């Protein structure tokens, strides 16, 4: 613990070292169960308050120099944010679509154009959702009574994000490291703690070696899953497969024979088999990408500076792999109920491996002058953007 | 113990200020080097987290909203909580009361919203809906659920059907506009759709023994048309979708495809059925059509219920128009002579409308 001299005035001041610790408190299980109960009885309308309870708990476990963070967000603010997005974005679009369908019939080109526009808006505003959610969270995160802030333009981030999303499939994913770098540069550059800015500088180059490894592995796994899946289906059903499919499509006579029942059974087997193969592929993918993500996290941390200190995140492929595996298993075996614990594991991982090298002049950090948003995360809720 | 060292953050900078805090019955007083004493009245204090022994206790005050005080002394914290019980957190009478009020307001809003969506809005919107919208909706819904069904339209049968419609209109100048279409399907049913479109299934005509039975069913469907029940039910279905998508989040998606799920739209409430029955009784009385036809038909339908093998995909009338003994008993005979709906020849032709 550093002790500061309260009489520090202007002039050269000795900086402080910063250190992150995750110190668990009791109570997360009680929060999880309470949230589960109220989410069930309110058809998940309680999710805004549930999220807030979890954040307040996890934030209070994160300590910087022995002083815990504080989350000051309210469930009510998230609820109002969601209501606003529903009222000004979703409801008008749905009503417009409905009116067009009634006027012009469901097959009219105008209906398709509006539907396409609807999905385009969701796609285009995704970055907006991410940025505004981050702004809300930072404004509700306090350390030593000082707020965080995000001071840039949500629109320019939104444009960048949309560009990144467009480029990724066009480049078979190879634009991802560069675009992630750009997005992170924008986000970190806009971040403040109190009056003090974060800085981000570097290049995307060091990301590409690991990206190539992960990309090749992902392609290999994808192809082998495809081939094994196909071979399994062929071994089980041989040429009957297509016969079964076409048989299903044409059987609509009221006399439903035993043969039809058999076909349905075989079809279900195929469906379950494919489901299993897809699940395996998904598992494999979520375990391959940590190879790259660990590198990205570490590199991004090393590019980030705050006052006279820079960050170091000791993220390794192996440890991130284990974290992800644990999280995935926890999610599967509790059908998502344990997600507060998954969030806790993730935050703890970051705290345990994050070090701050250099010194920060705490006396120079004044309360944030940035306006505090009154409600938050409506878009993020509507689009179901991930995160805590 | 009434004083202890603590950490104070003034909310203006991130600098830590070591202070001594002093507790009396009314306030905490914070003092330290280069800080003129600050008084935080106990009533204004707020705990950031629940006090847990062994963990620093964090406090804020309404006096200085951004400032924070951290007390690492358990005994002092316990004494403070005794004097300012609101800091204890957990369940207090005050918090329970507030939760109860919140729950009551929430329940009331849900109730109001449900009433708006399921009762008020459907009625208002259905009666305000312009005819062009009703017609467009009716055409779309009819074509979506009669897809693949043959329209029965033999010229003679059609003429007999028109005669039946004309008979129902007799002495009923206020009847709404309606169109009758017969579809060739094994289900025993009839539907009223938006815009006055009435679909009658061929097996309903085959099941009926007299034209009065068919006329009674059609008069009942005209009752739905006159009360705009299907328009109201459509608005109700859309509103319910919107409510659910609001509650559960997500992009709202495209629920419009589900609008065509006719069964949910055409399942009327008992009140709606009673209204349509009353309308049918009134209409048949004016047109001098024997209402006992409808009564017999309902009795027949009730018996069909056990035998589900003849039901088509849409089910029989019981699935969409629940027939109860109460409804059957409510149908009264005419207090004077009735006139036939169709001649025996026309009735025979109507029964062959699908040939």
What pLDDT score does A227 carry? 84
B55: contact with A, CB 8 A cutoff? yes
What pLDDT score does A73 carry? 93
What pLDDT score does B263 carry? 46
- Bridge-based pairing of strands A62-64 and A67-68 is antiparallel
B308 pLDDT above the threshold of 70: no
Which of A40, A60, A89, A94 to mutate: most B Cβ within 10 Å?
A: A94
> Are A152 and A190 within 8 A, CB to CB?
yes
What pLDDT score does B118 carry? 83
What pLDDT score does B228 carry? 92
| CA nearest to B48 within chain A | A70
Residues B250, A384: C-beta atoms closer than 8 Å = yes
Burial class of residue A27, CB neighbours in 10 A (0-12, 13-18, 19+): middle
Under CATH, which number does the domain B3-89 receive? Answer: 2.30.29.30
A310 pLDDT above the threshold of 50: yes
A365 pLDDT above the threshold of 90: yes
- Bridge-based pairing of strands B179-184 and B197-201 is parallel
Q: Pick the closest to residue A125 from A90, A78, A77 (CA basis).
A: A90
Which residues 218-277 of B have a C-beta within 8 angstroms of A? 238, 242, 244-252, 254-256
Q: What pLDDT digit, counting tens, does each position of A319-349 carry?
A: 999 998 899 889 889 988 999 999 999 999 9
Domain locations in chain B as residue ranges: 3-89, 91-128, 130-350
Structure confidence at residue B242 as a pLDDT band (50, 70, 90): confident
Which of B12, B15, B63 to mutate: most A Cβ within 10 Å?
A: B15
Residues A106, B35: C-beta atoms closer than 8 Å = no
> A146: which chain B residues are within 8 Å (Cβ-Cβ)?
9, 11, 13-14, 66
A12 pLDDT above the threshold of 60: no
In Å, how far is A113's CA from the nearest CA of chain B?
14
In Å, how far is A160's CA from the nearest CA of chain B?
22
A10 pLDDT above the threshold of 70: no
> Are B320 and B268 within 8 A, CB to CB?
yes
* Mean pLDDT, residues B140-153: 83
B66: contact with A, CB 8 A cutoff? yes
Residue A29, C-beta contacts closer than 8 angstroms, at least 6 positions apart: none
What six digits make up the tokens of A57?
């708990």
B311 pLDDT above the threshold of 80: no
| CA nearest to B65 within chain A | A145
DSSP bridge partners of A353 = none
Q: What pLDDT digit, counting tens, does each position of A34-66 carry?
A: 999 988 887 788 889 999 999 999 999 999 999
B244 pLDDT above the threshold of 80: no
If you compute the radius of gyration of chain A from its CA atoms, what whole number of angstroms results? 25
Residue B106 CA to residue B343 CA, distance in Å, equals 62
* Mean pLDDT, residues A158-179: 93
Of the two residues A231 and A29, the one the predictor is more confident about is A29
Compute CA B229 distance to the chain's CA centroid, rounded to the nearest angstrom.
Answer: 14
What pLDDT score does A57 carry? 95
If you compute the radius of gyration of chain B from its CA atoms, what whole number of angstroms results? 35
| CA nearest to A6 within chain B | B17
Residues B250, A67: C-beta atoms closer than 8 Å = no
What six digits make up the tokens of A92?
């008008």
B39: contact with A, CB 8 A cutoff? no
Residue of B13, B32, B247 lying closest to A363 (CB–CB):
B13
What pLDDT score does A174 carry? 94
Mind giving me the DSSP string for A293-345?
A: HHHHHHHHHHHEEETEEEEEE---HHHHHHHHHHHHHHHHHTTTTTHHHHHHH
How long a stretch of residues is chain B?
355
Of the two residues B315 and A296, the one the predictor is more confident about is A296
Residues B17, A4: C-beta atoms closer than 8 Å = yes
In Å, how far is B256's CA from the nearest CA of chain A?
7
What pLDDT score does A387 carry? 55
> B239: which chain A residues are within 8 Å (Cβ-Cβ)?
none
Residue A70 CA to residue A55 CA, distance in Å, equals 9
What pLDDT score does A72 carry? 94
Residue A348, C-beta contacts closer than 8 angstroms, at least 6 positions apart: A22, A24, A61
What six digits make up the tokens of A207?
């990301």
Angle formed at CA B105 by CA B101 and CA B108, multiple of 5 degrees: 135
Q: Average pLDDT, whole number, for chain A?
A: 85
In Å, how far is A214's CA from the nearest CA of chain B?
31
Which of B7, B12, B14 to mutate: most A Cβ within 10 Å?
A: B14
Q: What pLDDT digit, counting tens, does each position of B260-300 carry?
A: 344 455 567 778 888 999 999 999 999 999 999 999 998 88
What six digits make up the tokens of A202?
């570097």
> Are B315 and B125 within 8 A, CB to CB?
no
Mind giving me the DSSP string for A137-151?
A: HHHTEEETTEEEEE-
| CA nearest to A366 within chain B | B13
What pLDDT score does A3 carry? 41
The structure tokens 């969270």 sit at A137
Q: What pLDDT digit, counting tens, does each position of A63-118 carry?
A: 999 999 999 999 989 988 888 888 888 788 878 877 787 777 767 788 888 888 88
B42 pLDDT above the threshold of 60: yes
In Å, how far is A72's CA from the nearest CA of chain B?
9
B309 pLDDT above the threshold of 50: no
| CA nearest to A72 within chain B | B48
Mind giving me the DSSP string for A7-24?
A: T--SS----B--BEEE--
Longest dimension (CA), chain B: 111
Structure confidence at residue B158 as a pLDDT band (50, 70, 90): very high
What pLDDT score does A388 carry? 55
Identify the top-confidence range among A240-254, B63-77, B125-139.
B63-77
Q: What pLDDT digit, counting tens, does each position of B188-226 carry?
A: 888 888 999 999 999 899 989 999 999 999 999 999 999
What six digits make up the tokens of B207?
């099941």
What six digits make up the tokens of B216?
């009674």
What pLDDT score does A53 carry? 94
What six digits make up the tokens of A42?
């309110």
Q: What number of H helices and E strands is found in chain B?
A: 14, 11
Q: What pLDDT digit, counting tens, does each position of A132-157 carry?
A: 999 999 999 999 999 999 998 889 99
Q: What pLDDT digit, counting tens, does each position of A245-290 carry?
A: 665 555 444 444 566 666 677 777 777 777 777 787 777 887 788 9
What six digits make up the tokens of A338?
């344990």
Structure confidence at residue B251 as a pLDDT band (50, 70, 90): very low
What pLDDT score does B133 carry? 85
> B237: which chain A residues are within 8 Å (Cβ-Cβ)?
none
> Are B310 and B186 within 8 A, CB to CB?
yes
The structure tokens 């417009």 sit at A96
Percent share of chain B, pLDDT over 90: 45
What pLDDT score does B261 carry? 46
> Are A307 and A277 within 8 A, CB to CB?
no
Residue B57 CA to residue B50 CA, distance in Å, equals 8
Q: Pick the closest to residue B194 from B277, B270, B132 (CA basis).
A: B132
Structure confidence at residue A242 as a pLDDT band (50, 70, 90): low
A199 pLDDT above the threshold of 60: yes
Residue of B14, B49, B238 lying closest to A98 (CB–CB):
B238
| CA nearest to B140 within chain A | A105
Residues A94, B136: C-beta atoms closer than 8 Å = no
């Amino acid at each position: 613990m550093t002790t500061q001299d309260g009489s520090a005035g202007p002039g050269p001041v000795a900086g402080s070292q910063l250190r992150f610790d995750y110190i668990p408190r009791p109570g997360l299980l009680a929060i999880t169960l309470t949230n589960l109960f109220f989410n069930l009885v309110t058809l998940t309308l309680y999710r805004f308050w549930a999220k807030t309870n979890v954040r307040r708990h996890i934030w209070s476990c994160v300590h910087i120099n022995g002083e815990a963070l504080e989350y000051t967000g309210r469930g009510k603010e998230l609820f109002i944010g969601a209501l606003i997005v529903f009222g000004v974005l979703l409801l008008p679009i749905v009503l417009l679509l409905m009116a067009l369908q009634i006027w012009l019939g469901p097959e009219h080109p105008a209906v398709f154009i509006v539907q396409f526009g609807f999905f385009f808006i969701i796609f285009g505003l995704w970055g907006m959702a991410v940025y505004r959610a981050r702004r809300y969270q930072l404004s509700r995160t306090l350390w030593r009574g000082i707020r965080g802030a995000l001071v840039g333009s949500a629109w320019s981030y939104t444009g960048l994000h949309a560009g990144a999303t467009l480029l990724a499939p066009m480049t078979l994913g190879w634009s991802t490291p560069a675009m992630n770098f750009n997005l992170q540069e924008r986000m970190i550059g806009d971040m403040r703690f109190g009056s003090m800015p974060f800085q981000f500088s570097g290049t995307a180059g060091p990301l590409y070696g690991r990206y190539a490894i992960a990309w090749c592995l992902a392609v290999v796994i994808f192809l082998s899953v495809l081939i094994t899946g196909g071979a399994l289906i062929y071994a089980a059903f041989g040429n009957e497969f297509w016969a079964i499919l076409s048989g299903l499509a044409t059987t609509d006579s009221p006399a439903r024979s035993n043969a039809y029942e058999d076909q349905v059974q075989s079809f279900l087997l195929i469906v379950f088999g494919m489901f299993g193969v897809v699940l395996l592929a998904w598992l494999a993918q979520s375990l391959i990408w940590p190879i790259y993500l660990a590198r990205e996290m570490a590199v991004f941390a090393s590019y980030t500076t705050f006052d006279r200190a820079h960050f170091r995140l000791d993220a390794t492929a192996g440890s991130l792999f284990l974290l992800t595996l644990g999280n995935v298993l926890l999610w599967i075996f509790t059908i998502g109920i344990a997600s507060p614990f998954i969030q806790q594991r993730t935050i703890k991982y970051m705290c345990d491996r994050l070090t701050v090298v250099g010194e920060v002049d705490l006396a120079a950090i004044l309360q944030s002058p940035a306006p505090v948003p009154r409600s938050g995360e409506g878009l993020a809720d509507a689009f179901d953007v991930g995160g805590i | 113990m009434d004083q202890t060292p603590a950490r104070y953050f003034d909310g203006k900078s991130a600098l830590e200020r070591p202070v001594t805090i002093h507790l009396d019955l009314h306030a905490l007083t914070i003092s330290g080097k280069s800080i003129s004493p600050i008084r935080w009245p106990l009533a204004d204090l707020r705990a950031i987290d629940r006090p847990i022994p062994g963990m620093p206790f964090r406090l804020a005050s309404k006096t200085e909203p951004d400032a924070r005080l951290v007390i690492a002394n358990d005994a002092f914290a316990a004494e403070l909580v005794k004097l300012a019980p609101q800091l204890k957190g957990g369940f207090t009478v005050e918090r329970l009361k507030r939760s109860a009020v919140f729950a009551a307001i929430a329940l009331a809003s849900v109730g109001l919203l449900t009433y708006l969506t399921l009762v008020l809005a459907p009625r208002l919107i259905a009666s305000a809906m312009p005819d062009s919208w009703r017609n467009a909706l009716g055409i779309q819904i009819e074509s979506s659920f009669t897809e693949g069904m043959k329209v029965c339209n033999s010229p003679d049968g059609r003429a007999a059907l028109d005669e039946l419609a004309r008979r129902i209109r007799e002495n009923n100048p206020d009847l709404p506009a309606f169109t009758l279409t017969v579809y060739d399907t094994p289900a025993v049913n009839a539907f009223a759709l938006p815009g006055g479109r009435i679909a009658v299934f061929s097996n309903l005509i085959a099941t009926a023994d007299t034209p009065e039975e068919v006329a009674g069913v059609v008069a009942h469907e005209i009752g739905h048309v006159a009360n705009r029940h299907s328009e109201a039910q459509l608005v109700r279905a859309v509103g319910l979708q919107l409510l659910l998508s609001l509650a559960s989040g997500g992009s709202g998606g495209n629920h419009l495809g589900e609008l065509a799920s006719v069964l949910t739209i055409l399942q009327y409430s008992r009140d709606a059925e009673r209204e349509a029955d009353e309308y049918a009784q009134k209409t048949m009385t004016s047109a001098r059509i024997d209402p006992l036809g409808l009564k017999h038909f309902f009795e027949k339908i009730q018996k069909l219920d056990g035998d589900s093998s003849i039901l088509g995909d849409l089910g029989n009338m019981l699935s969409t128009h629940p027939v109860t003994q109460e409804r059957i008993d409510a149908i009264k005979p005419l207090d004077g002579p009735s006139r036939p709906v169709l001649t025996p020849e026309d009735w025979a032709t109507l029964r062959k409308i699908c040939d």
